[in-house]
Amino acid sequence: MATDIRRIQAALHEQGIDGWLLYDFHGVNPVAKNIVGLPPEKFMTRRWYYFIPAEGEPHGLYHAIEASFFSAVPGGRTVYRTWQEIEAGLRAILRGSRRVAMEYSPECAIPYIARVDAGTIELVKKTGVEVVTSADLVSAFETRWDPGQLESHLAAARFLYRVKDEGFAETSRRLQAAGAADEYEIQQHLWAIFQAERMISDSPPIVSVNAHSADPHFVATANDHAPIRPGDFLLLDLWAKTAAPRSVYADITWTGFAGERVPEKIQQVFDIVRGARDAAIEFVRRRHGAGELPCGWEVDEVARTYIRERGFEDRFLHRTGHSIHDEVHGNGAHIDNLETRDTRRILTRTCFSIEPGIYLAGEFGVRSECDVYVDEKEVRVTGPLQEEIVRIGVRK
């Protein structure tokens, strides 16, 4: 961690911040655990603080019964038992600082950064410091991938593309054998593959047909699912990571039609969504080539403008994409100028989804999702792009 501390201190100097105060209680701030390097499975029941100053040695403030958990964390340490000792400890480690970064977002503009409760912010402010957002620090030091994480993402992506193919193939097999399938049985067929190959996901995949595909987060259950028949539109959304330590997610969405002749309206909407996706990717590539990567909100606006100009702005219900890391929705820059205005710049060695969608309530919804990894050399889509709606074979 010593190398990371030196890099963090350089960034603090560059941003004119006197230090970064990391805080957690009962796991509410996973950013703090990641930066300090605590194992994800390590669960603390008491408040802890770790201050990285722009200059000098870091210093931790830990409860007496949990101080041993931090034995490998570099820097000085103060052990507390009482609330009075917390206040005194904070005054001591923050002495001389004026501006201190924490996982705080003004007006909760970026909820993924707003991890520290208002009361703790008030407590820190009592020491006389100004609390500023750590959003740019989080992007730089919590969401960048090392080579092993990139490889884990590519392995997860290969798995998802294979499972996506199996999803459409299994639907076709059932349609040809019995003339019908249903969302839940296809979902469970795919979920069994996840489990057999020890892939990690926080939910079974989305398998949604017709009107259900117009609900972006519909997840079929044993009691709530629809049949899939010839002439139906089908959306598959899959996300997973490997079981290896420090692995990161991949996340894709593809669509298909049960039959050979796709209805004109579905094809029109698909073409617009595909165009918005490609426009966003090309915009990131142009800015990368010019030597200045864009902010997340700018990329969102490119895709949103493409859809707006074609008359479907009010049917694009969500942001264009999200950061991807060890959680499927990571803490880096999101591709968002709708739910938030994410002013954070996309950084090299980070990954995000591009997934515009158009949702026609009661009819169908089209989303096309790929993952984009950016490094110093290129902007890389980490799997095949869907260029045409998949034709799902049916009984003739």
Which residues are within 8 A (CB) of 245 and not within 5 positions of it... i.e. 6 or more apart?
A: none
Amino acid letter, residue 18? D
Q: State which residues of the chain have pLDDT below 70.
A: 1-3
In this structure, the number of other CB atoms found within 10 A of the CB of residue 341 comes to: 14
Domains of the chain in start order, with CATH, are: 2-142 (3.40.350.10), 147-392 (3.90.230.10)
The per-residue pLDDT for range 124-175, each reduced to its tens digit, is 999 999 999 999 999 999 999 999 999 999 999 999 999 999 999 999 999 9
Q: What is the DSSP string of 298-358?
A: HHHHHHHHHHHTTT-GGG--S-SB-EESSSSS-SS--B-SSSS---PBP-TTEEEEE--EE
Report the pLDDT value the prediction gives residue 3, as an integer from 0 to 100.
Answer: 58
Report the pLDDT value the prediction gives residue 329, as an integer from 0 to 100.
Answer: 96
Report the pLDDT value the prediction gives residue 41, as an integer from 0 to 100.
Answer: 75
pTM for this entry = 0.93
Report the pLDDT value the prediction gives residue 197, as an integer from 0 to 100.
Answer: 98
